[in-house]
Structure 1
Amino acid sequence: MKIKIGKGFFPIFFSSLSLFSLYLVSRSIVILSVFLIFCFLLVASLFQAFLLRREKCEVNIKDVKAGEKFLVYETPKINIKIDKCKNFKEAIFSSFVKVEEIKKARDKVSISAKLLFNSSGEYDIISGNIFQSSIFDVFRLEKSFERELAIKVLPQTLVWIVRGLRLLGLASSGKTSYFEVTYLREGIALIPNVRSGEYIRNRFFEPGDVPKRIDWKSSMKNLRLIIREYGENPHGSVMLLVDYTCAGLRNCDLLASSILSISQLIYEEGINDIQLYENDSSKVMRFDSPLKLLGYLTGKILEKKIVPVEDMKLHEYVYPLTLQELYEILSRFYKGSLLIDEKGEKLSSSSDTAIFVSNIFHDPSRILDLISRIKRYNAVVITPDSPWKDEVDIEDAYRIFTSYSLAKKKIEKLGVKVISWKGLEK
């Protein structure tokens, strides 16, 4: 517990000093009386703050149960009850708690809030500080608290992997956990209705639409091509370039989900001529079936552990298969795919559209060089949104923000559209 100066301290303190100075000049009894009243307020407020130290504010978390699971983009509501807390002034909570409403009634406080998860993982504790104020908020008493939360937040990559496995016929369709029934069966059906609010969806593609009019952001979320203006037929060949480099739970989750989303979009649209370039190995492959591409990229995301498999609890959704058996089955989907080039020098010039999924602030010179080679193919770059949000240190966050902003400007100067992928939003 700490006693701190409140907002009312300085007005009373400086008023007291001014009154005392006036009294020394005028020797007025009235001014002296007012001065003594102000001094009494300071002493009485300090005494009240010491009395408040003896009281313990009881904090309880309602509406969220220990062991509950949520997807990272969900915003569950909680109710925080604070009892036996006289003269409550304010409360500050963990960064992932956003207060929406505070109701006070004598020594009881009810706070409505929602949880905003930055990344997946275990959220075990809600901590914070409660402030009680003395008369006229001259002094404040700060009390720290910690309460068990014990909830599991799952990455959105899990949604895309389970959906991909179901398209491949591999996800469990028998008895499933409550979480899957609630969020992955019904939730998948709701994905076409998710909107980020940054792009206006006009309509689904029709024969005769121009590829450059595709709204990739809306298309990835709807898993169907969305057109903003009329043009030529978008069905043709696609050049997909992927860079698996990432850092941080949030950044890696967004990267993995964007790769899986675009592969599922290609599958849904039935595009059969796909060229895949992997930036880390410079390997170029050609797929004659979107099913093969989907199996290959799903396996790659799992194999590289861009999002740790243990964080996704994936075994719950592929049972009775083991993870090793799943990897082996996925590898069969893309057997026979043609390896064009191991050095990445033979990027096809026949593709109608080039899609590059990458963290643009990692090795920007190489990425810019690659983009300059593909920009003539109606290219679009998809990159995880706000990669600096994983950083705790403000200097590291600013460094990443600067690198990201500069790389984005340079790419746009090349005439290539950059889409910031925020993932699913509830």
Structure 2
Amino acid sequence: MITRAPSELTRYLRTETFGGALLLTAAAIALLWANSPWSAGYFAMTDTVVAITPLHLDLTLAEWTADGLLAIFFFVAGLELKRELVTGELADRKRAALPLIAAVGGVIVPAVIAFAVGYGMPGMDRGWAIPVATDIAFALAILAITGSRIPPTARVFLLSLAVVDDLIAIALIAVLFTASLAPLWLTATLTCCAAWALAQHRRIRTPAVYLPLALTTWYTLHEAGIHPTLAGVALGLLTRVRPDPDEDQAPATRLEHLVQPISAGLCVPLFALFASGVRLDATVFGDLRTDRLALAVVLGLLCGKPLGIFGSSLVAIRLGIATRPPGLGYRDMFALSVLGAIGFTVSLLVAELALADVDDGSAVESAKAAVLMTSATASIAGSALLLRRGRVHRARRDARAPDDAGARRRSNGDEAVPGQGEGSTK
């Protein structure tokens, strides 16, 4: 299990990196399309209603991607979180403390800044939650492209931080955006979750059991009045992550292999395509400087995230509550904290949920533009810092190389022993 964990992490990171590249491409296509002469076609597509009449599901394509496809994304996040909690970085309390504390700081500080800046503005009673989340796929893609020379513990720290960060954001979605509960539907949801856990306990493997259970859990949660993406997290956390002696892989690992490529390669890019189409004009850019709601999102992400993540990490390390990841300096950690300001997928989702009815939808467009512009700024700034730190780490490795080579020669007995070289008469 110990030897399998690094390879699983590497596979996860590679898939998320590829998914991040697709996400960026889909977001760019949406922005170009929404600001082109063919923009009417884009908005007609996003507003197209696809109804399942017997189930009373009348959702637009944009809503299907946000409510349906993102549930698959959150299922993968739940599987990864469960694996990290049981067999990964978060299984050891001392090592888990740092990303956990950093994630909490990276949620509280942006929320406080956003609430303080946007206080009194329509929608800010829930809009303060927009800048609390870090986009896993986006941040890992930037790290893979520009941070290849820094120690691999940076990837583990960022991944653990982002997973916990998203879990907190999901909990906030459940609390903030549940207007009313339907007890019978909620009971049905809990029954489905119990059936999933029982099937895992009884070692049932057939998809004929799990697929209907997953769909039913999503539907009952939707009807209960809770955002249905939480179904993905719940089922992910209920999946078994330790393999039996007769198993090559645990169910969580098999499901990750099956579902993660679908999530990273299809679900998240499609959500980005339907959610990123924001009209960018002089009014929008002006709002980013003057509108307090947009400023709350910008300052919450761009200032609050790095301050919250790095500041809480620094305090935890100095107090001895947590330990610094091996090979990472404080400047490395600050660069990773800047990547934490990339709040794409979940931030866009929260913006749609929190501001849909504010100012006839104009507040949503302003908040989305703020998220997109801030995420782009954070990715550029984080890339620059990571490239600089990569050069520093490479210079250190080059400086150590002669000493390491000499140590290896001495350990192998390759250096001449005094008195036994050429010309010795001994």
TM-score for the superposition, normalised by structure 2: 0.26
More helix by share: 2
Larger radius of gyration: 1
Highest RCO, 1 vs 2 (Cα 8 Å, sep ≥ 6): 2
> TM-score normalized by structure 1?
0.26
